[in-house]
Structure 1
Amino acid sequence: MVDGTYAKMWISDGILFFVYKEIYEINRSMAKEIVSQRLQLQNENSYPIFCDLRAVTNAQKEARDYLAIEGAYMTKALALLVKDDHSMAITQLFIKTSSPAYPTRVFRDKNKALLFLQDYK
């Protein structure tokens, strides 16, 4: 398990769990640190990723772009957990415009998110 400055990460049952800590706004340097920690934890193994974004308020465009491109390395599939309809709409729009190279979906229900990732283990 990694308990970083911005997120907690661990691997369980073939899924990488990624839970952001309370952050008002993610910037590019934060995004780089987060991706670096995740890749160290993964140790050159690809995983489906469960990412809990509920404690994040905002992310700068440069951070979002970094996470979508460089941050996509070693990702089989991505389930994003958000807290409300507003976050859901913004995140879905971002996915549509960034066109990730792996299956990506947004959820408000943790169990549905984990079910989605089962096929990618």
Structure 2
Amino acid sequence: MVVDGTYAKMWISKGILYFVYKEIYEINRIMAKQIVSQRLQLQNENSYPIFCDLRAVKNAQKQARDYLAIEGAYMTTALALLVEDEHSMVITQLYIKTSNPTYPTRVFTNKEKALLFLQDYKE
């Protein structure tokens, strides 16, 4: 099953939840709530490692980032974030360090390496 929402396309394949953001200039808290709600419906009370492709997102408001990191963490066993370049990687790593997620989280610029990281967290 594929969920093609307003802000992201998501599906589950081989024990990993794939989450690909559509082109968005800036995510706000309202958008973040809708995104998390759609993801949780797709997961149907099952936890998954999540591959999240952020390359089409330019920015996220602090309230949205905080919501995604806290409330948005529900039913997440691990998170691999795919970003466009080294600059985005540094900014995202800094945010991860300050938000201190309760599940393993890493940032990548290479999709294959991101998916390899998630293999250990599949159930």
Q: TM-score range by the shorter chain?
A: over 0.9
What stretches of structure 1 of length at least 5 have no aligned partner?
none
1:92 pairs with 2:93: yes
Distance across 1 between alignment mates of 2:12 and 2:30: 24
Distance across 1 between alignment mates of 2:76 and 2:65: 16
Deviation at 1:86, TM superposition (A): 1.2
Which portions of structure 1, spanning 4 or more consecutive aligned residues, are displaced by more than 6 angstroms? none
What stretches of structure 2 of length at least 5 have no aligned partner?
none
> 2:109 maps to what in 1?
108
C-alpha deviations, 1:27-79, integer Å up to 9, x for none?
00000000000000000000000000000000000000000000000000000
> 2:76 maps to what in 1?
75
> 2:39 maps to what in 1?
38
Number of matched pairs? 121
Cα RMSD, aligned residues only: 0.3
TM-score (norm 2): 0.98
| 1:29 maps to amino acid | I
Distance across 2 between alignment mates of 1:85 and 1:120: 25
TM-score (norm 1): 1.00
> 2:121 maps to what in 1?
120
> 1:28 maps to what in 2?
29
Distance across 1 between alignment mates of 2:64 and 2:13: 27
